[in-house]
Amino acid sequence: MEQNTKKPSHFYVVGLNYKKADAETRGKFSLSDQAKQDLMDQANVEGLSSLMAISTCNRTELYGFAEHPFQLISLLCKYSNGTVEDFQRVAYVHKSNEAVSHLFKVGTGMDSQILGDFEIISQVKTGFITAREKGLTNNYFERLVNAVIQASKRIKNETEISTGATSVSFASVQYILNHVPNISEKNILLFGTGKIGRNTCENLVKHTKNNQITLINRTKDKAQKIAGKFNLIVKDYADLQAEIQKADVLIVATGAQNPTIDKELLNLKKPLLILDLSIPKNVNDNVLEIPNVELVHLDTLSQMTDDTLEKRKQYVPQAMEIIEEIKDEFITWTQARKFAPTIHALKAKLEEIKENELKYHKKKIENFDEDQANLITSRIIQKITTHFANHLKHEETEVDESIEWIEKVFQIENLQNE
């Protein structure tokens, strides 16, 4: 009989993230959707049984079964612009239970740059769906991803780790929602198209259900491009003063070096909330000399996000307890799944020995009590198999070695499936 020389495969994660890799290096290893597809096709060609890819602005990771992690590293380098040298400098490799722990932390936002970020779990789900479409998943992988999704849901529902604003643009919207009643009916004016202003605008559209948002920019065509994306009204720069008079909320994100809004420009007939989302400040403090003007600067909103992240830290122990509970259940399942066939086969072998012995003694011993003997030997077999099962469950046991040993000693056919 030909000996199977294929080495056992192990579960690995190989990747890099914001902790050691700067934005430029992360960019090199970034995987486009097409690159992910090509990478998985190649994984199939190379005979890998399962593989999942995750690539965001903060991390790129491959999870999968391989005989050696370099199989995954070489795939990552081949389909990105990263090199093996770059990888060795900034990346990490985790194996088996460490890789499992890493995926739990990633999927629940515990490893995110913004603690408690729940966007990442959707990336994990998408990555798994793509892997399944390519035929690169197995029962182990499916059970693991489902366990991570379950942990993410429980952390979101049972802790407050995801509450509060974690970006200035979202903090701006929260501030407006908290300070302006009936916001969906109010006039909002966005002056300028700076990045934070654009993000705030997107969040406003999403959260206020307001269709009276007006955009003004010095260059009108730039404003029209952004307005088209968010379905906003665009007005000329010359209309700025008139539009400010109509506005209930003014968001300034011009990116100019000197203030673009001051009290001379304001000729107000009603209260006005001004959010200055610019560095340096684009709104002159003299606007506060006008009654009913409230001015909130970027620094205040940034402080809100810092406070939020600080508050989130107190929920980490609670979140980690949930992770440990679900992870332990998963690891217990994987161990039982691995050795259950061997325990069943061992029990069958001992039952076979028992039957032969009972037949032998039945012939030899007069008035042999077969029922009594059957009861005693069945209990002995149960105790022996329980001892073996407890040994295989123990966290320090080398399960593969022990299974091989049991199979040799009891002459049980090799039952392990990769």
SS (H, E, C) 335-349: HHHHHHHHHHHHHHH
- The CA distance from 82 to 60, in Å, is 11
- Which two tokens mark 173? 């919207």
- Which two tokens mark 53? 């890819």
- The CA distance from 292 to 38, in Å, is 59
CA distances 130 to 54, 67, 102, 125, 148, Å, are 10, 22, 20, 9, 17
Q: Could you tell me the end-to-end alpha-carbon distance of the chain, in angstroms, rounded to an integer?
A: 19
- The CA distance from 282 to 275, in Å, is 10
CA distances 416 to 52, 95, 338, 388, 413, Å, are 24, 20, 7, 16, 9
DSSP helix/strand/coil, 190: strand
Is 201 a catalytic site residue?
Answer: no
8 Å CB contact between 54 and 102: no
Active-site residue (options: 7, 19, 33, 57) = 57
CA distances 212 to 152, 172, 177, 205, 233, Å, are 37, 18, 15, 10, 7
CA distances 296 to 169, 176, 267, 274, 285, Å, are 13, 10, 19, 6, 10
8 Å CB contact between 221 and 234: no
8 Å CB contact between 59 and 110: no
8 Å CB contact between 316 and 141: no
- The CA distance from 110 to 17, in Å, is 13
Q: Exposed, middle or buried, 75 (CB in 10 Å: 0-12/13-18/19+)?
A: buried
Q: Which amino acid is at 272?
A: L
Which residue(s) pair with 63 in the sheet?
13, 52
- Which two tokens mark 111? 């490893």
- Which two tokens mark 110? 């515990």
Q: Which residue is associated with the tokens 């720069």?
A: 237
Which residue(s) pair with 216 in the sheet?
191
- Mind telling me the catalytic residues? 57
